Structure 1
């Protein structure tokens, strides 16, 4: 806590209204996994967003895509500030034991006029193709208060087309371990490229998967450098997590400039060409002199990329050890003859907390690292730091705690108070109602999108139960007297329940940069 209190506060968290009812369309992705072979795999839940590139067109202006992963689904949503979108929520379910990996990327293709979303699970990769908003323009009505348009997610016909996914069960086993993170990109010819990192607990390595527009997928295992004599690795290599086989423990991976670049267990950066495979063409010096093994995923080493002010590629590696952590900023240079080399820019030490996620943005004339940390009490904090020699951490103030429940005059006012934006997520209210109904013997189901009515019904049922036990002639007076107390107990139940799992938001293309402890919060300076 001293770490947080010592930082200046420059941003404040603002929570949007999560209580608007959503209707979801569900499809099942063919992930190929089976519960018997790929079970009990725990991966962090993540979230991210994307805004359309052309902000001048009426059908893409103020229009966004955002996503989040859960243990059994990828949830995609589209939103617009200008028009009403129909069929805008799509839940892509996956087989039990095949959770989605954290990296999901969104692309707009002008040639084919479609939107492509690249996603992966521990046992499969997917190219999800949807119509671009430009192709839906003829079905839209603009220029009135009832402006409307179908969402791109209304058409899911190509999701399980065999040419748009690849099953990878044979690569998830006791020898290689299980993929824990990935990176992806879409080439101009429509080919999707994925790199899946296999680290902690197996031989490791990177699996490169190419998904062409037509034809079969091509998979290549990327190995460690074979020209380095084994005796040079020695004991230090083993301590740092370097495998004794041709594999290498890979933690974070990015795709850039035709290369797959990974941060490995020995804290070295390695770069492999996407179209050649084999051994890496460049290996950096160790980014840290620490000899202990890194933390296992998801709290182990991570890697992000961004573009510097001079157009060069900057790599921001997060190094995580049991007793210390640090960010190391590296710059990629053309090494000649198709090679690449790395140079050190800066080193920024972090707090003794678990990093949940981080992203690279831009502000104050330089690149900025946004980091989301988990504290020992389970709470989360957001910090930012500029990438540079004189870096210092800055904090984001969390939203203010709700005050005491005032005495209100009607059920409607209490109901509105319960559903106030930012007070309780719908999942917490729904869970509280289940507990509340179970306590007082009610069998009323909690219907999706009717939380306010369900809460009011539960309170009124409790009030009827209280008045039925008394002989007072003025039951109306009793119900008015007890109304605030019963509503307060209902809200207290919500307050004691933990909120939904921490999800973090990554930027994509021109998307807004935000990080938070709840899905898609906003940050305001």
Structure 2
């Protein structure tokens, strides 16, 4: 059994959402095998029906029948369905819409469709129920049961049966599934015959039986029947119903004589007859429309019967049952119809009968009756009446265009297309895609066509014509909207929404329960509800027109808003109804009740957390229903608040009552106007609803009330304005602030001004509250900074700084100075920022700000500006900041910082630091050229110092490798010179790196014959001087080769030697002599020795200048050298020459110095003797004479 409707006593109200029915259908064409027939004109109004799934809330299907076309649509309020529209075309076989029925089995959904020559069993997969605890958002998307429906499935012989009724013209039908899931069809023919067709489950095997009226009653009873009844011999069946009963199938037929017959299929006779007219309307003739029988089956079978009579049509509810084994129809309820218009549809849901009457062209009314008490209840339907603009406009066309496009959902594209089609648009308007432009062009075309009838000089007539054509187009739009929404059928959705779907001509909409305020307004005229509140509402609603459209503009000031309210909802105190009411009761008590009813009760965070939230109403359709319902409610409440405000103001002026209620009504009007404006933008409202899944509640109206409380702006509009901020609705937020207190969401308001590029107003708001906490000011300053309004951050900072100074809070003063400093820095107000630094008393904070200041200016390439500050007392800190920053960066990035450091050292004549900085740059240089450049500069500034100060100490730096030559310790001028020459030498090597050591450099230079440079480096770096000269000796010895001679000119030129045409060999040997003489230490022969050694190694003669030097400085070393290479003859000649010179001079010191190489001479003599050389005897004799002479001289010196 369905859950009883908790809103049974509540008036329902129509909700029109966006147009969710697409013009794109999946078309399926069927050619029934039976003979085609034509039952009616194709212009007949469409008929509809529908079904809501039992175990799946808020999911439903409906169909619409127009002649031989059947449109099937599925929707859900909880999930978005794909491929949910199918149109089946039964070619030339009209669909018998009264016989369409839907049944749910455990595995499938069965749709039974009878046509004029066929019966079809269409089977679709049963949708799965989505549980509320499923957190996967993908459940919001599902395939429709029609998504896989195709021609092969409908052409299966087991799913249809064709019959030939060409001559009998079927016109009505009924269908059902029996206990075995066999499909049962009853077809009413115009020859008073009913066709019984059974299609077996799975196999589809058909059974056909004819039930004739003439043989319906057993012959023995026919005369008795005629005596006791007055029925017509051949009545025409108006309506049918069929349903299993026990083990049989019963058919219920209602004919034009108001006789209800119950037919047994097994017995092929009717087993019961009831003369409905006699029982319920004995003296009334039939109406112009047929009677209707409607079956409702849940736990029990109920038949709802509508007797269409000329007066007082009647609804009867019967329950088929058995009494002591005998079948009978038990009356459950009957009531007279309140409307005698054409009944379009009726349905029994629970304890209510819902009915649709067509009251005029494209107009209808919907009512329901409670079968427990017989009370009829109206439904409030959407009105599309034309309303003349209340204010004069010089541009009436734009006024009506604004009305047409005031809502994105009021008119559909089809409404506008059809209205445009009324006008002549054959001049290319189809190429215009913007509907507003299309409509404007269409009106202009109409005006141009009619202008010939008017005087071209009559401006007033032309304005009137434009107004008429614009109004005519607007009326046309309303007509097509009214036609689209003309009701055809109703579907009860049950729990948890308790909504009804209204299937219309070409769309669908909903009926929802009204909320407590709406219900009070819609029912105040009910005589059964007379009370003081209804009396007040009767006065307030004297003019029922809702005037919200006058308040649809956001930018309305508070005073203008109230003036507009007073003007639009003016009450006449002289009106006798108003005077009588004011004099007859205590208005304040009644107003207090109404005001309390209008106040929302926002949920607390705890309430929201404790609420069991639902997954209902999450689809686009469900969100649309929620948002449109919400908009309806708040607009209704806004309208009521405006009426209450003007009425209470009138009461206060006329009767001297307190103004408390005027203020309350005014605040309520503000609040509901804000909510109404918000929800008027349906897309915006839907976005908030869909993005806040926690708002979802069951049932539907609790969801709406929760949304009303959630967005209630009177107490705290924080939630609403934060959402508006996300959606960039800045002007709307600022409008709310003009009407309501914004203390709780001041930050959001300030941000809206900033994002709207209006920071002055944000600053004005902040300065208006001098009692604000400094933390709030800091937060506001942070917002200014976040949105790049640094000048306003400075202004606010200075404002708060004055407050802090007055309070004497040193910590806050320091903090705000720092904050102002940072914003001045961002504004490039460097002088002000520097002054902020000087004002800081906190040394740590001062240094932090100085650090930021220096680095920011350098990063902004403001070197000259930075140098202009004297940094009194802070110079060392500035230098440390820059140096640390430079050392933390790569070489390329660090260069500007080093250059500034050099500039500031130069500015204050700190040459030692300047030299140190250039030395550090040398250490970090990427090229040998840069190394030499920085070393020269470092040397230059170090030489400017006095000799005692010309030094500095450097330490190991993190960016240096262990292979660097000199990077720590004491650095003096000589060190720099050595490094400078090394850097220059590296430049001579193409593949050289900045860290190539001196040994590697000299090795490469030797290969390049750069002897001069090598000797210089070797001398400076205390390297061996003989090795380069040995290489030069080898090179000189190789000059006997002509090819080597040609190359020699090149390397000699590289060494700065110019021969001037002399023999190349002589030039090379002269170059060798020059280097040996230059680098040999005074009085020593070490270099001579190595050169001589290399020559002798290659068996070459020693040059005379080498021998001469040895003779003068160390003849023993030369003798030893000769001896080591076996040059005995040279040794003998040298010894003999020395003996001669010594004996002749008589002074041994001149020749041998202080040491006589006796051992070497004796060794030579031994070797000469050993080798039996003749000169050996001569040398020996000379040696004896020399020895004796020396001994005699020494003895004489001793005696003296």
Report the TM-score, using the length of structure 2 for normalisation. 0.35
1:131 paired with 2:112, answer no
**Pairing 1:351-366 to 2, within 5 Å after superposition:** 351-362=339-350
Q: Within the alignment, does 1:343 sit opposite 2:330 as a pair?
A: yes
Q: Identify which of 79, 82, 86 aligns with 2:82.
A: 86
Paired residues in the alignment total 467
1:220 aligns with 2:201: no
Distance of 1:490 and 1:241 partners within structure 2: 53
Please name the residue that 1:504 is paired with.
Answer: 489
Deviations 1:222-243 (A, max 9, x none): 33432365555659967x5441
> Where does residue 108 of structure 1 map in the other structure?
104
Identify the match of residue 392 of structure 1 among 372, 375, 381: 375
Residue 359 (structure 1) shift: 0.7
Aligned CA distance change for structure 1 residues 115 and 442 (closer, same or farther; 3 Å): farther
Higher strand share: 1
2:57 counterpart of 1:74:
no
Please show how residues 4-19 of structure 1 align to structure 2 within 5 Å.
10-18=11-19
Q: Is the partner of 2:269 in helix, strand or coil? A: coil
Residues 147-188 of structure 1: per-residue CA shift (max 9 Å, x gap): 533322121231121221122332x535xx4322x2222245
Once the two structures are TM-superposed, the CA of residue 386 in structure 1 deviates from its matched residue by 1.7
Whether 1:330 aligns to 2:330 is no
Flag the 1:307–1:117 CA change in 2: closer, same or farther, 3 A. closer
- Give the structure 2 partner of residue 178 of structure 1: 170
| SS of 2:440 mapped into structure 1 | helix
Pick the aligned partner of 1:375 from 332, 338, 359: 359
C-alpha contact (below 8 Å) 2:355/2:367 kept by paired residues:
yes
Higher normalized helix content (fraction of residues): 2
Report the CA distance shift for 1:38/1:306 in structure 2 as closer, same or farther (over 3 A): closer
Q: Deviations over 1:385-418 (max 9, x none)?
A: 1224x52322112114465569898999666437
Of 279, 288, 292, the match for 2:278: 288
8 Å contact from structure 2 (residues 285, 311) kept in 1: no
Contact 1:185 1:255 in 2 (8 A): yes
SS of equivalent to 1:118:
strand
SS of the aligned residue for 1:524 comes to: strand
Given the alignment of the two structures, is residue 441 of structure 1 paired with residue 426 of structure 2, yes or no?
yes
1:96 correspondence with 2:80 = no
Mean Cα displacement is larger for which, 404-413 or 314-323?
404-413
RMSD value over aligned CA atoms?
4.2
Deviation, 1:335, is 4.2
Q: Pick from 113, 138, 148: which aligns with 2:141?
A: 148
Q: State the 1:9 CA deviation.
A: 8.4
Q: Equivalent residue of 2:92, what SS?
A: coil
- Which whole-Å CA distance do the structure 2 matches of 1:442 and 1:19 have between them? 31
CA 1:41/1:499 → structure 2, altered by over 3 Å: closer, same or farther? closer
In structure 2, what is the Cα distance between the partners aligned to 1:63 and 1:41? 31
SS of the equivalent of 2:488 reads coil
Q: What secondary structure, in the 3-state scheme, does the structure 2 residue paired with 1:102 have?
A: helix
Contact 1:73/1:99, CA 8 A, preserved across alignment: yes
- CA offsets per residue over residues 109-159 of structure 1, 9 Å max, x none? 32xx33221122233221112233349x9xxx9934795333221212311
- Range with bigger deviation, 34-43 or 369-378: 34-43
Shift of 1:99: 3.5
Aligned residue for 2:313, secondary structure, equals strand
What's the CA shift for 1:347?
2.9
Q: Deviations over 1:402-458 (max 9, x none)?
A: 65569898999666437524xx4655433222222xx24345559xxx9x8456434
Give the Cα–Cα distance (whole angstroms) in 2 for the partners of residues 43 and 496 of structure 1. 19
Distance 1:466 1:323 in 2: 49
Query: CA offsets, 1:1-46, max 9 Å, x none?
Result: xxxxxxx982222222226644210101333466665563776532
| 2: CA distance, partners of 1:52 / 1:358 | 19
**What's the counterpart of residue 306 of structure 1?**
296
Indicate how the Cα distance of structure 1 residues 73 and 41 shifts in structure 2: closer, same or farther if over 3 A, else same.
Answer: closer
Q: 8 Å contact 1:49–1:512 — kept in the other structure?
A: no
Question: Relative to structure 1, is the Cα distance of residues 399 and 286 closer, same or farther in structure 2, using a 3 angstrom cutoff?
Answer: closer
1:119 to 90, 107, 113: 113
Distance between the aligned counterparts of 1:465 and 1:251, measured in 2?
49
Closer, same or farther: CA 106–378 of 1 in aligned 2, 3 Å: closer
Q: CA separation of 1:235/1:179 partners in 2, compared to 1, >3 Å: closer, same or farther?
A: farther
Gapped runs of 5+ residues in structure 1? 1-7, 56-60, 470-481
Of stretches 505-514 and 219-228 in structure 1, the one that deviates more from structure 2 is 505-514
Contact 1:125 1:165 in 2 (8 A): yes
Q: Does 1:417 align with 2:406?
A: yes
Query: 1:221 Cα shift?
Result: 2.1
Instruction: Report the more deviating stretch, 262-271 or 349-358.
Output: 262-271
List per-residue Cα deviations over 1:344-377 (Å, max 9, x = no partner). Answer: 3443122332212211012xxxx21111112256
Determine the structure 1 residue equivalent to 2:158. Answer: 163
Quote the Cα distance in structure 2 between the aligned partners of 1:385 and 1:317: 14
- Partners of 1:264 and 1:17 in 2: CA distance: 41
Gaps of 5+ in 2: 1-8, 452-464, 514-1200
**Quick check: 1:330–1:345 contact (8 Å CA) kept in 2?**
yes
Q: Note if 1:459 corresponds to 2:440.
A: yes
SS of residue in 2 equivalent to 1:153? coil
Equivalent residue number for residue 472 of structure 1: none
Name the CA distance, whole Å, in 1 between partners of 2:105 and 2:313. Answer: 39
Q: How many Å separate the matches in 2 of 1:278 and 1:395? A: 43
Distance 1:40 1:306, change over 3 A: closer
1:115–1:206: structure 2 CA closer, same or farther, 3 Å change rule?
same
Work out whether residues 47 and 68 of structure 1, in 8 Å CA contact, stay in contact via their aligned partners in 2: yes
2:553 match: none
Is the 2:195–2:211 Cα contact (8 Å) retained in structure 1? Answer: yes
Matches of residues 196-215 of structure 1 in structure 2 within 5 Å?
Answer: 196-198=187-189, 202-212=190-200, 213-215=202-204
- Give the counterpart of 1:430 among 417, 422, 444: 417
Q: What residue is the counterpart of 2:250 in the other structure? A: 259
Give the superposition deviation at 1:259.
2.0
Of 155, 173, 186 in structure 2, the residue corresponding to residue 195 of structure 1 is 186
The 3-state SS of whatever aligns with 2:11 is strand
2:313 maps to 1:317: no
Q: 1:20 to 1:243 in 2, by over 3 A?
A: closer
How far 1:523 sits from its partner (Å)? 1.3
Q: Does 1:63 align with 2:52?
A: no
Q: Partner residue of 2:517?
A: none
The change in CA–CA distance for 1:488 and 1:287 in structure 2 (over 3 A counts) is: closer
Q: Matched residues in 2 for 1:523 and 1:19: separation?
A: 16
SS of the residue 2:483 aligns to: coil
